[in-house]
Structure 1
Amino acid sequence: MVKIGVLGLQGAVREHVHSIEASNAEAIVVKRIEQLEEVDGLIIPGGESTTMRRLIDKYSFMEPLRDFANSGKPMFGTCAGLIILAKNIVGHDQPHLGLMDITVERNSFGRQRESFEAELVIPNIANDFVGVFIRAPHIVEAGEDVEVLAKHNNRIVAARQGQYLGCSFHPELTDDHRFTKYFVQMVEESKEKNLV
């Protein structure tokens, strides 16, 4: 059974833990740098990207997260986590981790009170997945190595680039665990490859 960490500095941590466990993997809430060594994959949850970045800096997580990425282990960013993974953020000079070759725009679907749900078609994962959008970003531009997984109203809301997965919505806030399962499979495949 693979171990999947959820970065536990801020955001929807408990819901991700539940979704990971429902996907037949072990969940670990990562609050200390050394815990990164215990996990095979990592989820950076939704929350508030500026606050999350401040906490990443405060607890010196930036370089260990980059090392984790360089080790080839999969990472999954949801909502604010997508912003943390992106190489470019509209209106900002500097990215956070800058790992995924995407440009994201923050709060592009409106503020908190404009939150909504939408049915998404995610080929090979779910043709009827309900995405929960809360102050969601969207992917304005994706590099040529980036696979677009889902769109809503012609805006890219889910994408994958190699070991990185990102989405605008909150897959952990529903009882449909298929998107989390997809990430668990990425982690399982990555672990098997590294064992060979």
Structure 2
Amino acid sequence: MAIVARRLGLLDPLREFVKFPSETESNTKPVWGTCAGLVMLAEQASATKQGGQELVGGLDVRVLRNRYGTQMQSFVAGLNLDFLGEGEEPFRAVFIRAPIVEGVISESQGTKEGRVEVLGVYPQDGEGKGDIVAVRQGNVFGTSFHPELTDDVRIHVWWLKQVVDAVRHGELVLNGA
């Protein structure tokens, strides 16, 4: 994705879209990256190709690419995602060569971008520890899994509500609004 974006001259415009408001807008636009999109939105990535990988950034996190192996190791797992509402049934998350968030690289407290919020963890053991698979920082949201590959629209509905709330509170100005 980064190679194609660079060749088409889109990498810098994507960075500007994600990170910087325009001259006529006071805030940046909402952005959601799934799987490889999460990798692109990270500020740092590990297990990259030789020479590294260009990133768009926007999330103060370090991601590990392909945490769960190759395409052959793809799987579906139920995730308890509290941001969808307490008591809701687990979200069936589709993981395909999925990345994970290895860690937050900056606490960013007090900045306009805000602090990184961990919104989802795929549990690896019975002690509540696991892999971070959903995060949000200000206008940027990232998931390791593919919600678009299920019939469950709860995450999409939640995301659209976030965008609408931002518009209502003046935190986001859409063209023509």
**Shared fold, TM over 0.5:** yes
Secondary structure at 1:98 match in 2: coil
Q: CA deviation at 1:101?
A: 0.4
Write the mapping of 1:20-39 to structure 2, written as runs, cut at 5 A: none
Measure the CA separation in 1 of the matches of 2:119 and 2:54: 22
Match for residue 139 of structure 1 among 98, 101, 106: 101
> Which whole-Å deviations, capped at 9, do the CAs of 1:74-115 have from their partners, x for residues lacking one?
100100000000001014555411210011001001110110
Match of 1:77 among 33, 37, 44: 33
**Runs of 4+ residues deviating >6 angstroms:** none
When normalised by structure 1's length, the TM-score is 0.69
> Residue 124 of structure 1: SS of its match in structure 2?
helix
Report if aligned partners of 2:83, 2:119 keep a CA contact under 8 Å in 1: no
Structure with a larger share of its residues in strand: 1
Give the helix-richer structure, 1 or 2. 1
Who wins on radius of gyration, i.e. which is larger? 2
CA distance in 1, matches of 2:137, 2:74: 27
Asked if the contact 2:31–2:140 (Cα under 8 Å) also holds between the matched residues in 1, the reply is yes
Q: What TM-score comes out, normalization by structure 2 length?
A: 0.76
Unaligned segments of structure 1, at least 5 residues: 1-51
Q: What is the root-mean-square deviation in Å for CA atoms of aligned residues? A: 1.7
* Cα distance in structure 1, aligned partners of 2:5 and 2:78: 33
User: Percent identity of the aligned residues?
Assistant: 39
* Structure 2 runs not aligned, ≥5 long: 22-27, 108-114, 125-129
Q: Is the contact made by 1:163 and 1:186 (CA closer than 8 Å) also made in structure 2?
A: no
- For 1:60 and 1:191, the matched residues in 2 are separated by 30
